Structure 1
Amino acid sequence: MNVNSSCNGLFVDINGSLYCSMYKHHQVVKRSLNDAVMTSNRVAAGTGIAGSDLNQLNGPRGIFVDVNLDLYVADCENNRVQLFQPGESNGMTVAGSASLNPTIRLSYPTGIILDAEKYLFIVDNSNSRIVGSNLNGFRCLVGCYGRGSQSNQFHNPNSMSFDRSGNIFVIDSNNHRIQKFLLMKDSFGKLKKTLNNMKTYE
């Protein structure tokens, strides 16, 4: 994939399409990896002009595409997460103060993941925390008491990833480390979205 700006986020969907979020060009583009001939990129989201309208992005970073090919975009400078459904140029705000159910305020979100239960996890960079959704909306999971370098704190985290057990690894950028958080189980043995710090990778 050749693009006219650096990619700040990458994702490959279940159909083998590669997505690239271009922070400086305010767009997400995609291209099929299965084409015998490499055609030009297609716009997946954004107009290429910074803005806050539903068809615009302002500094997109993290991206995630689910099995329905719904595209989630961490729209950093607009302090929101946008959902673009297949074939739609207008997105809907699913997290942030402008969402239909505004239960969380974001500040420069940089990473997003949707789990198998369709719960959304967000790296809220400037608030130095990880937030997650449940049936009641969004709430803070880690880094809930301010920026710092303790095991339960971050200093401008950048991105995150799950392992097969549901544990979360977080790039804690300004603390120069990777943090691992264990997904705990409730008294019935079921997984719940509560995290305990396990290990730091310097």
Structure 2
Amino acid sequence: IAETNTFATVMNVNSSCYGLFVDINDTLYCSMPHHHQVVKRSLNDSEMTSNRVAAGTGNKGNDSNQLNQPHGIFVDVNLDLYVADCLNKRVQLFQSGESNGITVAGYASLKPTITLHWPTGIILDAEKYLFIVDQLSSRIVGSSLNGFRCLVGCYGGGGQSNKLSGPLSLSFDRSGNMFVTDTSNHRIQKFFLMKDSFGKLKKS
């Protein structure tokens, strides 16, 4: 597309779109914090059709079918949708075809092993472990067989190489290195996962 200078509008939304994700079926998802909703649209449709609701009622709240300023989103190979439900301080799992979510991290989760303060970014790896950006705590947390644990920024925010300040999102490369948008420090930090018994992350 860049080489031909060709572009196309693939989704129209009536609010700002924070999180984006394209699933294995080429369905585009958009999280709209101000509308407390996640919408989706198939990119295979030849005509621009109306967006479908993937999660949220459009009214903010903390019921299982509601969201409060959703941010980061992730859709796995089973088409299950994970939502960083920011102001509800939780991560919600909406299984494919379901309108009621299951809290998998944070407030009112089935196994409450971690407290979240403004989760804004999430990624699920191939082994179904969750990685969460906890913005107000300036840290990254991850799940494991023993529940959730802090990975980066575990001793408060700051500008040192092993700390973060207001992180927003994260991503991984093919080698498993973690990249974090360290917003208030005006930088992107790179970390790699040490393969030892402690499961610690070390800055690269």
Judge conservation of contact 2:122–2:132 (CA < 8 Å) in 1: yes
Superposed, 1:1-202 pairs within 5 Å as 1-186=11-196, 193-198=199-204
Which stretches in structure 2 are left out of the alignment for 5+ residues?
1-10
Q: Which amino acid aligns with 1:87?
A: G
Identify, as 1 or 2, the structure richer in strand: 1
Residue 184 of structure 1: how far off its partner (Å): 1.5
Residue 37 of structure 1: how far off its partner (Å): 1.4
CA distance in 1, matches of 2:187, 2:199: 23
Q: Which amino acid aligns with 1:104?
A: I
Question: How many residues are paired up?
Answer: 194
Q: Which amino acid aligns with 2:25?
A: N
CA distance in 1, matches of 2:98, 2:195: 38
CA distance in 2, matches of 1:142, 1:186: 16
Residue 97 of structure 1: how far off its partner (Å): 2.8
1:149-178 Cα distance to aligned partner (Å, 9 max, x none): 001101110000000011100000000000
SS at 2:184 equivalent: helix
CA distance in 2, matches of 1:50, 1:117: 32
Q: Percent identity?
A: 77
1:29-82 Cα distance to aligned partner (Å, 9 max, x none): 000001111210000000000000000000000000000000000000000000
Q: Which amino acid aligns with 2:75?
A: V
CA distance in 2, matches of 1:119, 1:156: 23
CA RMSD in angstroms, aligned pairs only:
1.0
Which stretches in structure 1 are left out of the alignment for 5+ residues?
none
Q: Which amino acid aligns with 1:122?
A: I
CA distance in 2, matches of 1:94, 1:183: 23
Which of structure 1's runs of 4+ aligned residues deviate more than 2 A? none
